[in-house]
Amino acid sequence: MQSRSPIWRSASNAFRSVTQPRPRSGIQDATAPFRRRLSSHAKPRPQVIFSGIQPTGIPHLGNYLGALQRWVQLQNDASPETTLIYSLVDLHAITVRQDPRQLRQWKKESLAMLLAIGLDPNRSIIFHQSDVPAHAELMWILSCQASTGYLGRMTQWKDKTANERENSEKLKLGLFSYPVLQAADVLLHQTTHVPVGHDQAQHLEFARELASGFNHVYREDIFTYPETMISPAKRVMSLTDPSVKMSKSHSNPKSRILLTDDKQTIEQKIKQAMTDSLGPVTYDPQSRAGVSNLLDIVLHCDAGQTYQTVDDIVSIGNRLSLKAFKEWVAERIEQTVRPICERYADIVGEQKQLDRIAEEGAERARASARPTLHRVKETVGLL
């Protein structure tokens, strides 16, 4: 997962700033005067942008258009004073049982892909979450203050556990408490801004509640309140069922386009994408979800270089048959994916270089985390 500042510059165009409500219930009333006192004396802090993605295989086009493309844009547009931190959150990945060999391979592939899309390890801190123990350590400290009632009301937790509630043996503690780890990820680095999708905004609200509660209990300005940055890219939907998001977990591989798919594979998947036979191309997500999804994909692949609105793309689609329109969409997607795929192929085999980048990123992340964790441990009496 806001007011714009001069530091933000043109990166403010990459995300729509959203001011989230302050933590509710008694915490809000108790901490409001304290927050006002802090804000009136505190010096402005340089911006810190943090985001993470699970290393669970090659990202698909929805991952790229919904998040990763924006990470690169933020990196390229942010002021030199802004710190950018991007994590491969492998501790989150093991909330679901993983094959150890597969997870190790996925971590390697995911790091190579972050480099292939354009993230620069000299500009951004890129690291594996498990290489920085402070994330798990802060998570435990915050867990001792997190409300189980609040966790139980979180929408995503309800969705993830809905199928397992009748068999409590299958429910694991990590699946319940992962929002606390997400909060620790953000708060540990004194993050000021978190780019997220709409479905993650509630997690940032929870992180702010934990920060507010901790600061209030100890009467210290320990944690920064992170602000939510909502991506302008709409959710990219499944090619085979445009009523649901594109996902790596979907049983049909034709439902998604991977960032390593070649031209022939992309053409075949788009050819078989669910659309309709209602005539000329129009944009109507409700009644023409499949066609509208393809229009959205082209718009976000273009990223404003040629087409400013979806109507610009509709005007082209109107001149084509549905078959020709799909061929044109496949071409636009392939132009986006091909350079990423080519760079990935060059990078993924360089194991020593990947190991070096991962270790250097982890060292920088450990340095970023160290002051906050030390202060937290002093505050609670562990030091």
Q: List the catalytic residues.
A: 160, 245, 248
Tell me the C-alpha distance between 201 and 194, whole Å: 9
Q: Give the list of residues 6+ apart from residue 58 with CB closer than 8 angstroms, or none.
A: 109, 113, 258, 259, 260
Please check whether residue 172 is in contact with residue 178, taking contact to mean a CB–CB distance below 8 angstroms.
no
Give exposure, 69-81, as e/b (b: 16+ Cβ within 10 Å).
bbbbbbbeebeee
CA dihedral angle for residue 127, residue 120, residue 63, residue 265, rounded to 10 degrees: -120
Could you give the CA distance from residue 362 to residue 371 in angstroms, rounded to a whole number?
A: 15
- 3-class SS of residue 19: coil
Q: Quick check: 146 and 181 in contact, CB under 8 A?
A: no
Q: CA 160 to CA 98: how far, in whole Å?
A: 17
Q: Please, what sign has the CA dihedral across residues 364, 366, 369, 370? A: negative
Q: Which residue has the tokens 């994590």?
A: 87
Q: Pick the closest to residue 182 from 378, 380, 1 (CA basis).
A: 1
The crossing angle, in degrees rounded to 10, of helices 310-317 and 289-302 is: 120
Cα–Cα distance for residue pair 120/235, rounded to 1 Å: 26
Can you read off the two tokens belonging to residue 211? Answer: 């920060």
Q: Packing angle between helix 322-347 and helix 289-302, nearest 10 degrees? A: 50
Can you list the alpha helix ranges (DSSP code H) found in the chain?
A: 25-41, 61-63, 69-77, 90-93, 100-116, 134-143, 148-153, 155-161, 173-187, 201-218, 263-271, 289-302, 310-317, 322-347, 351-380
